[in-house]
Amino acid sequence: MFVLYLLPTVYSVGYLQKLYLPDPGPESFAFDLNGQGPYTGVADGRILKYKGPLIGFVEYGYTNPNRPARFCDGTNRTDLAKICGRPLGIGFYYKTGELYVADAGLGLVVIGPRGGPGRQLVTSAEGVPFGFPDGIEVDQETGIVYFTDASARYNISQIPELISNKDATGRLLKYDPKTRNVTVLLRGLSGASGVAINKDGLFLLVTEFVTARVQKYSLKGPLANTAQVLLNLSGSPDKIKRNFVGDFWIALTVQSQEPTPAITLQGQKINGNGHILETLTFSPEFNSTLITEVQEYNGALYLGSLYVGYVGVYHRIWRI
């Protein structure tokens, strides 16, 4: 590693490892305080925990406390989201070990520190029910939970309609566990899919899938409680996750028409000023029509998608 600092140009190539799941659709990931995981929510409503190559994935929890397990286990049907649950964004609050979940069918849910059944916290804000809860971020300093509703009008079974109608009913929301109050921070968002807080708790970055951009919402300072467009992207962003340095990885699905219609799945690393620091392409090895998350953990990049049956783990090989 030492040599990297001395030589001028460093670029990376990598290889993709696949952690196979008992059910498809690992939308996003979390790691616990002990570094165990990844944890991920899948299509049948369960949240699974990876216990290493010998054991693989085991059940950790589920969002609907009355989930009929025998009916739901193994399903890949999004229309059952209200019955089986459909965990999308997940994030631990390390002080309590609780796992917060943005569930497409059940709203904001919390699972206790030992896993098992979830507890539904909120399903609406300002009287408007959530249609498609999607991204989540827990502020580790305050315990406040930030999450997105991708749309108030369309649900997870209606993604094509959400996109073709350029829906703009998405919202950025804040849940305070002390008051159990939910507040709308931003409205009129177009496919609000991901949210991440910066290292110092100064701002949030919010991705919009339909308008292909990132907005910056200030939490503190002179611009507090206002947002501005930080960056227009070359594709549709889903989740955004901060890495240990404080930069952010965006999962990006790029559609092109020339020379033939193609989909490229990428991860794009940006900083808090909206500068693109790195772009990596994971397709065709990561073979899907959508990438939902790129999360950097312990040097590897964890790749999620609604439509694959494994967790992608991209390992970089540094070349000079």
Question: Where along the sequence are the contacts to ligand NAG (CB under 6 A)?
Answer: 24, 76, 78-79, 81-82, 105, 155-158, 179, 181, 183, 229, 231-232, 284, 287, 307, 309
CB of 310 vs ligand NAG, minimal distance in Å: 9
CB of 168 vs ligand NAG, minimal distance in Å: 15
- Closer CB to ligand NAG, 191 or 296, in the complex: 191
Quickly list DSSP for 250-271. EEEEEEE-SSS-EEEEEEEEE-
CB of 308 vs ligand NAG, minimal distance in Å: 7
- Closer CB to ligand NAG, 12 or 287, in the complex: 287
- Closer CB to ligand NAG, 113 or 284, in the complex: 284
Residue 56 DSSP label: -
CB of 113 vs ligand NAG, minimal distance in Å: 25
Phi, psi of 41 (to 5 degrees): -95, 140
- Closer CB to ligand NAG, 72 or 296, in the complex: 72
- Closer CB to ligand NAG, 28 or 296, in the complex: 28
Pairing of strands 29-30, 46-50: unpaired
Closest CA to 215 of 229, 194, 197: 229
CB 214 within 8 A of CB 207: yes
CB 43 within 8 A of CB 76: yes
Q: Tell me the C-alpha distance between 19 and 7, whole Å.
A: 34
Q: Tell me the C-alpha distance between 156 and 25, whole Å.
A: 12
Calculate Rg over the CA atoms of the chain.
18
Q: Tell me the C-alpha distance between 48 and 37, whole Å.
A: 9
- Closer CB to ligand NAG, 155 or 295, in the complex: 155
- Closer CB to ligand NAG, 76 or 140, in the complex: 76
For residue 42, give the 3-state DSSP assignment: coil
Both tokens assigned to 204: 């949030």
CB of 171 vs ligand NAG, minimal distance in Å: 12
Q: Tell me the C-alpha distance between 48 and 15, whole Å.
A: 24
CB 70 within 8 A of CB 52: no
Closest CA to 48 of 311, 313, 312: 311
CB of 276 vs ligand NAG, minimal distance in Å: 12
- Closer CB to ligand NAG, 215 or 295, in the complex: 215
CB of 55 vs ligand NAG, minimal distance in Å: 21
CB of 269 vs ligand NAG, minimal distance in Å: 17
* Cα separations in angstroms, 63 against 37, 54, 104, 144, 163: 18, 27, 10, 19, 27
Phi, psi of 109 (to 5 degrees): -130, 150
